């Protein structure tokens, strides 16, 4: 299990995301600088113990209608070859030193573990507490053994989110702008073969639930 270090970060995660989010095709809040607040998230473990994997949820309150975003991140102790386009920035970690922060949906370590989560082979972990499962994160999969083979994916960002297409006939759509489900997420959503859902805090202090990602047959 990953050990959570409660230490200093320079710049902070929110400071990195403030400059990075407006450069994304799925960013919805215009040209102004975001005003971000942490709203939730969870972690996954890297089997090799080298890469930090975090799914951070942040809410931009800079407009009259706040938007909540899901941002999967990986934290590495050295640059990831060939992933310059996915670099969010670098930070100084009070314990681990310099960390390279990447958009995790372009990092094979994260995508492999995300597919393993959907398949039920790994469990979501609490964002800020070591060795503690996150019971708010749910998943389902009804698609056979496809996710147990080579997890190589092609990643495409667009206005609706991020698409991960596998070589085995399934595409994972990751929602970047989150929407609360009035009665909680369906299990599984109609027309899909798998999903991940979770919870986050709304600006008014209430708790919301909704879909993070859905898995469908590739058209």
The pLDDT tens digits along the chain (219 residues) read: 565 566 667 899 999 999 999 999 999 976 678 999 999 999 999 999 999 999 999 999 998 889 999 999 999 999 999 999 999 999 997 777 789 999 999 999 999 999 999 999 999 999 988 789 999 999 999 877 778 766 677 899 999 999 998 887 889 999 999 999 987 776 677 789 999 999 999 999 999 999 999 999 887
Q: Is the peptide bond before 49 cis (omega within 30 degrees of 0)?
A: no
Contact 116, 110 (CB under 8 A): no
Strand segments, DSSP code E, in 94-153 are: 97-103, 125-126, 138-141
The token pair that represents 180 in the structure block: 């609360």
Q: Return the pLDDT at 19.
A: 94
- Kindly report the pTM of this predicted structure: 0.92
Residues in the chain: 219
Contact 25, 106 (CB under 8 A): no
Q: Which residue has the tokens 């698609």?
A: 143
Q: 3-class SS at 204?
A: coil
């Amino acid at each position: 299990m990953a050990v959570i270090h409660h230490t200093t970060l320079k710049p902070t995660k929110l400071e990195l995301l403030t400059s990075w989010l407006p450069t994304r095709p799925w960013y919805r809040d215009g040209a102004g600088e975001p005003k971000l607040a942490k709203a939730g998230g969870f972690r996954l473990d890297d089997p090799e113990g080298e890469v930090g994997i975090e799914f951070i949820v942040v809410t931009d309150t800079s407009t009259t209608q706040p938007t909540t975003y899901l941002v999967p991140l990986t934290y590495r102790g050295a640059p990831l070859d060939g992933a310059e386009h996915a670099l969010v920035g670098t930070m100084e970690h009070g314990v681990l030193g310099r960390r390279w922060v990447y958009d995790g949906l372009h990092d094979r370590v994260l995508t492999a573990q995300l597919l393993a989560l959907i398949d039920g082979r790994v469990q979501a972990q609490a964002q800020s507490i070591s060795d503690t499962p996150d019971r708010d994160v749910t998943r389902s999969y009804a698609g056979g053994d496809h996710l147990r083979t080579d997890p190589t994916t092609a990643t495409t960002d667009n206005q609706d989110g991020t698409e991960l297409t596998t070589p085995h006939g399934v595409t994972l759509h990751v929602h970047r702008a989150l929407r609360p489900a009035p009665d909680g997420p369906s299990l599984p959503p109609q027309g899909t073969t798998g999903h991940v859902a979770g919870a986050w805090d709304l600006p008014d202090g209430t708790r919301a639930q909704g879909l993070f990602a859905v898995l469908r047959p590739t058209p």
